[in-house]
Chains A and B, each alone.
Chain A
């Protein structure tokens, strides 16, 4: 303890602390941002993610082919100069379909995660902070929703509201926030009786301020890690729903759909599985590295510089 503490303090002295303007704003995020900038893997991952997002959302405007343009005479051909990643059995360009599929997968992935994150963090933090009977009640609600069979829930949604893309977000978000709420609640419960929370109360801070200024930042590590795990989970859920015919409809594509279709013909046309799988894998890897980097960057104690 003593040794490491001395080391940390020496580092702190040697460190040229921030700049003058660093006094303002939520400095935790500002500091985290600076630390993140020093994490090579995190930076590379961020760049890759941005490239994939840009390619998916802007790329298709520059392409002559559409995701539904078929060329039945051509059929499935391996990658060549005309079709960079080859074509599928209907002669549709795989590269184009991956870009279009990225739109669906990314929006489902990020939107549903954002929804799950927001609801889960709020719900969990409030439940854990208030404690007692309210906590009990709020957590039983979570248990009940958790017990609902997901597929049935989605089918019901589709039956009542029709097949709308938005419903996909709603359905997936509605399931994913439950675990997030539980994680945040657990964190808040363990923080609840820490002395600095008592001290904050003794300073006259209001409950919301204690929750948002003191508790949530302390729980950010697990929140971020779980959020980065949620994104791929959501993308796979979307693929599963599409497989059941409840998600995106052909000829529209998503990464999940492409992988599923590719898997069916992997022996004859392996590129149809390899490329979508590769793109999904790269995206998920980047997300995980970014999440890891963010978690480390947000913990002032983990600062290695």
Chain B
């Protein structure tokens, strides 16, 4: 199977008055057609910036993509012409955003927004597009789709708006959908519906999905492969099962330990001590070292690359790479893998 997207050595920085913030630092990954890749990390870990960089949606200035390639069907997304990129955006690669309340234009009918990608990318009449729009809304489970096409966004609830966003994103049958925390702003019950919907659409259209989230529980039931990001770098990548059953980076293990478990009532929640590093200063060695219980002096002095520790399972932990330590999986709460 040919690779759909191959990102190599992506670096994105923000040049602010306070200094240069390395938001994404040498990130490489690839994605196969139809695959679901989860990108996990806490706020500020660079997961959103990495994906926005792919479509060159970083506000510039202050943002700048310093180096890297992103090969998508033979086109380098990071360096191609604007016109070429615009033809890809919304047509071959679609994106849905975190907050459905603000990502729809309040002054435009929902229908017009759903069919907008179709109108600008496919040369079809407005009438045809409108009919496709009604179909698309039905697909995402919108009751009374024909009538809802003529409503305005404020007449919809959050979950319904996210459905509209998904309908708009998938109306051109893109090869890749980038979902930037699409369920963060929604109720848990609606969250499950939206996830199920994305999965259903993915099955029907064969779309690959990059799923950005800080909710590690969602990843476990949803993704084929997972990247764990910390301080702008990938610290671990592997299949979902590998990430959860055989963690190979202390950060990943710590993240999983901090998931509240239902049956451990009354116990104190685990938190990772310390705070993420200041990205405006260069970080020698492992960025997680100051918070890591296994860290030694060499962790902060030597350069550490992402290496495979077992087949297809990569880790950026020096001590794991040297086989000095072994991690046990954190006890997984019940709601993980609920979707499987």
Q: A: which residues have CB within 8 A of B?
A: 5, 8-9, 12, 17-18, 22-24, 27-28, 31, 132, 193-196, 198-206, 209, 213-214, 217-218, 220, 298-301
5 sampled A-B residue pairs with Cβ under 8 A: A24-B127, A195-B98, A196-B102, A196-B104, A220-B107
Q: A193 — nearest CB in chain B belongs to which residue? A: B59
Q: Could you tell me if B120 and A209 are in contact, using CB atoms closer than 8 angstroms?
A: yes
A residues within 8 A CB of B168?
A: 203
* A201-B108 Cα distance, complex, nearest whole Å: 16
Centre residue among A18, A193, A195, A206 by max chain B CB count within 10 A = A195
Contact of B97 among A12, A24, A199, A220 (CB under 8 A): A199
Q: Could you tell me if B152 and A204 are in contact, using CB atoms closer than 8 angstroms?
A: no
Q: Could you tell me if A195 and B102 are in contact, using CB atoms closer than 8 angstroms?
A: yes
Q: B89 — nearest CB in chain A belongs to which residue? A: A204
Q: Could you tell me if B91 and A300 are in contact, using CB atoms closer than 8 angstroms?
A: no
* A299-B154 Cα distance, complex, nearest whole Å: 11
* A200-B55 Cα distance, complex, nearest whole Å: 12
Q: A194 — nearest CB in chain B belongs to which residue? A: B102
- What does the 1/0 interface line of B113-140 toward A look like (CB < 8 Å)? 0001100110000110010000000000
Q: Smallest CB–CB gap between A9 and chain B, Å?
A: 6
A residues within 8 A CB of B95?
A: 199, 202-203
Q: Could you tell me if A205 and B120 are in contact, using CB atoms closer than 8 angstroms?
A: yes
A residues within 8 A CB of B99?
A: 195
Q: A205 — nearest CB in chain B belongs to which residue? A: B120
* A218-B95 Cα distance, complex, nearest whole Å: 22
Q: Could you tell me if B57 and A202 are in contact, using CB atoms closer than 8 angstroms?
A: yes
* A23-B112 Cα distance, complex, nearest whole Å: 9
B94 at the binding interface (Cβ < 8 Å): yes
Known contacts being A18-B150, A24-B126, A301-B152, is A196 close to B89, with CB within 8 Å?
no
Q: A27 — nearest CB in chain B belongs to which residue? A: B109
Contact of A5 among B104, B126, B147, B157 (CB under 8 A): B157
Q: B156 — nearest CB in chain A belongs to which residue? A: A9
Q: Could you tell me if B90 and A17 are in contact, using CB atoms closer than 8 angstroms?
A: no
In the complex, besides A205-B90, A218-B107, 7 extra interface pairs with C-beta distance below 8 angstroms are A9-B155, A22-B150, A31-B109, A195-B97, A201-B57, A205-B86, A300-B154
A residues within 8 A CB of B126?
A: 24
B residues within 8 A CB of A200?
A: 105, 116
Q: Smallest CB–CB gap between B297 and chain A, Å?
A: 43
Known contacts being A23-B130, A217-B108, is A204 close to B120, with CB within 8 Å?
yes
Q: Could you tell me if B94 and A202 are in contact, using CB atoms closer than 8 angstroms?
A: yes
Q: Could you tell me if A204 and B91 are in contact, using CB atoms closer than 8 angstroms?
A: yes
Q: Could you tell me if B57 and A196 are in contact, using CB atoms closer than 8 angstroms?
A: no
B32 at the binding interface (Cβ < 8 Å): no
B106 at the binding interface (Cβ < 8 Å): yes
Q: A16 — nearest CB in chain B belongs to which residue? A: B147
Contact of A203 among B94, B111, B157 (CB under 8 A): B94
* A90-B155 Cα distance, complex, nearest whole Å: 63
Q: Smallest CB–CB gap between B116 and chain A, Å?
A: 6
B residues within 8 A CB of A27?
A: 109, 112, 150
Q: Smallest CB–CB gap between A14 and chain B, Å?
A: 11
Q: Smallest CB–CB gap between A125 and chain B, Å?
A: 15
